[in-house]
């Protein structure tokens, strides 16, 4: 049965629908329950905290999407994280969502919290924790407790950030139990909301079981106890709103720190409109197009100063401005191009000359202190005897080496394909982009769906033959459909976003804002390292 190709507007409607659903957290009943307790929800707290009409760049909105279904799901991994402005100061905000399993920590919750702390550390941004969590989700404790990137890593990060001079403010606005109690108390300032906030290493039931003491939670670890008796918290407040207003007052007194000094001038709009940008990008993933047209919808005035324009044509390298910020752009050219020798090169494929050009361009941007923006629509590196004889592995390694050792901040947008080693060379998640987002049109995997499905089918059929089973043509067709369906699901940008392989899925029209906020954040962290690529074969 022939299927209809979805349009970009179909994908944007899906993005809008999924966004609205995820932002409901545990659902309207849970939201109403929080309100009845006199509490704001995590998103309402953030709205109250950040400056009016300012942007909030959410990190990990779709984290855990489609995961933990046997446990009832965990929308947005039960925590809201992102970059916002408080009293004009850019900061990272982490807010537990108590409407989702009482804010309990799932494995993806830990991964998302650590990602937020990583962003604060990389960019030297103050971080605010709005704590309201029941602690580790016990049925999955073995997947969250003891390993290096598990729950305990956040406290290590607390200590490291303190030593780095990064301001950490915590507000206890609900439960804060067991190991989680250390997070706010390892912050610079810890405030608590009276009657709804509580903090203790063990709650009243566990205390009764462990030592036989009868005590209620408020006496054990409420606001009065910790502000007047133990001194664990600094001040108590009558409501969420009062507590959030106190954080705003603190941010109003913060001093300025040195900046990286990235160049910025007055912003200009892109040359083409947002709507035209949507029309340029083809939905058919094999259809060629000119990436320069897409770039003209992302950069100020549509202007890019290309580097080695007539060499290595399957990669576009050049300097431009996005929202006034100077950037170095590395983008996969998707149209078929002709070399000086008259040879045709496939779009979206990285050839030896392209990799060599990109490596040299990355070096130049580091020398000039220009942030790098990678626009991914890559099928991988060129293969075949001619490519191998020409040293594609050597030139690819040169590009990866330069990119991995870059000391200027890197930002990655996955527009379309992100396959195999192409994902790596174009600064995939493994190479520490400060931010990485994808468009709804993105696909991320070792290889394309069609190629992978056929390969997996061959492996499966061969495996069955070894056991003496021969399948019919109809059975083989059905097996191919099953494999294709599963692999196509894993290609989805939401599959990547749910696992935090990307920080989120965005409307293409938001790309300029995401990159601009990312560079503004990175500008808070002076570059202290020298660019050194180590050993590169030439």
**pLDDT the model gives residue 488:** 76
pLDDT at 178 over 50: yes
Find the helix or strand (DSSP H, E) in which 530 lies. none
pLDDT at 177 over 90: no
Return mean pLDDT, the chain.
92
Would you say 48 and 40 are in contact if contact means Cβ atoms under 8 Å apart? yes
Average pLDDT value for residue range 344-353 = 90
Would you say 300 and 320 are in contact if contact means Cβ atoms under 8 Å apart? yes
pLDDT in tens, 409-451: 999 999 999 998 999 999 999 999 999 999 999 999 876 666 6
- The number of angstroms, rounded, from the C-alpha of 124 to the middle of its chain's C-alpha atoms is 17
- 3-state SS assignment for residue 254: coil
pLDDT at 13 over 70: yes
Q: At what angle do helices 352-368 and 392-404 cross, to 10 degrees?
A: 20
pLDDT in tens, 355-380: 999 999 999 999 999 999 999 999 99
Higher pLDDT: 284 or 7? It is 7
Closest C-alpha to 479, from 512, 508, 455, 457: 457
pLDDT at 459 over 90: no
Average pLDDT value for residue range 94-113 = 95
pLDDT at 131 over 90: yes
Strands 372-378 and 325-332: parallel
pLDDT at 2 over 60: no
pLDDT in tens, 63-78: 999 999 999 999 999 9
Token pair for 517: 């906020």
pLDDT in tens, 288-304: 899 999 999 999 999 99
Hey, what domains does the chain have and what are their CATH numbers? 8-252 (3.90.226.10), 274-442+502-523 (3.90.226.10), 447-491 (no CATH)
Using 50, 70 and 90 to split pLDDT, how confident is the model at 390? confident
Using 50, 70 and 90 to split pLDDT, how confident is the model at 535? low
Using 50, 70 and 90 to split pLDDT, how confident is the model at 453? low
- 3-state SS assignment for residue 328: strand
DSSP track, 403-421: HHT--S-EEEEEEEEEEHH
**pLDDT the model gives residue 1:** 41
Q: What is the dihedral of CA 85, 87, 91, 94, to 10 degrees?
A: -80
Closest C-alpha to 43, from 72, 84, 71, 91: 84
pLDDT at 468 over 90: no
Token pair for 326: 């100077």
Cα–Cα distance, 187 to 185 (Å, whole number): 5
Using 50, 70 and 90 to split pLDDT, how confident is the model at 480? confident
Percent of the chain with pLDDT over 90: 72
pLDDT in tens, 23-55: 999 999 999 999 999 999 999 999 999 999 899
Average pLDDT value for residue range 225-253 = 96
pLDDT in tens, 242-292: 999 999 999 999 999 999 999 999 999 999 999 999 999 988 877 889 999
């Amino acid at each position: 049965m022939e299927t209809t190709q979805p349009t970009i507007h179909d994908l944007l409607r899906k993005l809008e629908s999924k966004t609205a659903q995820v932002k409901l957290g545990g659902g309207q009943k849970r939201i109403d329950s929080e309100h009845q307790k006199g509490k704001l929800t995590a998103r309402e707290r953030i709205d109250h905290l950040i400056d009016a009409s300012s942007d909030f760049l959410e990190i990990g909105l779709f984290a855990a999407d489609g995961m933990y279904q046997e446990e009832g799901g965990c929308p947005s991994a039960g925590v809201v994280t992102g970059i916002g402005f408080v009293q004009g100061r850019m900061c990272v905000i982490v807010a537990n969502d108590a409407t989702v399993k009482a804010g309990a920590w799932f494995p993806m919750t830990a991964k998302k919290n650590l990602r937020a702390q990583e962003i604060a550390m990389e960019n030297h941004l103050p971080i605010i924790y709005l704590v309201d969590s029941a602690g580790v989700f016990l049925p999955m404790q073995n997947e969250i407790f003891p390993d290096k990137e598990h729950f305990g890593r956040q406290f290590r990060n607390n200590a490291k950030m303190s030593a780095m001079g990064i301001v950490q403010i915590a507000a206890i606005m609900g439960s804060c139990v067991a190991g989680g109690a250390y997070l706010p108390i390892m912050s610079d300032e810890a405030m608590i909301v009276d009657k709804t906030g509580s903090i203790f290493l063990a709650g009243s039931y566990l205390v009764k079981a462990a030592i036989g003491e009868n005590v209620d939670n408020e006496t054990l670890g409420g606001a009065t106890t910790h502000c007047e008796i133990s001194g664990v918290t600094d001040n108590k407040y009558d409501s969420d709103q009062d507590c959030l207003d106190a954080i705003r007052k603190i941010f109003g007194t913060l001093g300025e720190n040195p900046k990286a000094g990235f160049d910025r001038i007055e912003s200009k709009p892109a040359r083409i409109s947002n709507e035209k940008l949507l029309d340029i990008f083809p939905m058919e993933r094999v259809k060629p197009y000119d990436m320069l047209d897409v770039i003209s919808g992302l950069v100020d005035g549509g202007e890019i100063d290309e580097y080695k324009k007539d060499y290595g044509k399957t990669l576009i390298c050049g300097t431009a401005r996005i929202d006034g910020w100077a950037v170095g752009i590395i983008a996969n050219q998707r149209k078929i191009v002709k070399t000086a020798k008259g040879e045709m090169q496939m779009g979206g494929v990285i050839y030896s000359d392209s990799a060599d050009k990109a490596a040299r361009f990355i070096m130049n941007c580091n020398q000039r202190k220009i942030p790098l923006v990678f626009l991914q629509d890559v099928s991988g590196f060129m293969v075949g005897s001619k490519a191998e004889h020409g040293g594609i592995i050597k030139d690819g390694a040169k590009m990866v080496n330069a990119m991995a050792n870059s000391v200027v901040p890197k930002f990655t947008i996955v527009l379309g394909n992100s396959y195999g080693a192409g994902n790596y060379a174009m600064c995939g998640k493994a190479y520490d982009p400060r931010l990485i987002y994808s468009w709804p049109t993105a696909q991320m995997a070792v290889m394309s769906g069609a190629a992978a499905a056929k390969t997996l089918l061959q492996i499966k059929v061969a495996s069955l033959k070894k056991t003496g089973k021969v399948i019919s043509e109809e059975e083989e067709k059905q097996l191919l459909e099953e494999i294709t369906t599963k692999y196509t699901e894993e290609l989805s940008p939401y599959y990547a976003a749910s696992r935090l392989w990307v920080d989120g899925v965005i409307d293409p029209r938001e790309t300029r804002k995401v990159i601009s906020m990312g560079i503004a954040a990175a500008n808070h962290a002076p570059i202290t390292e020298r660019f050194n690529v180590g050993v590169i074969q030439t």
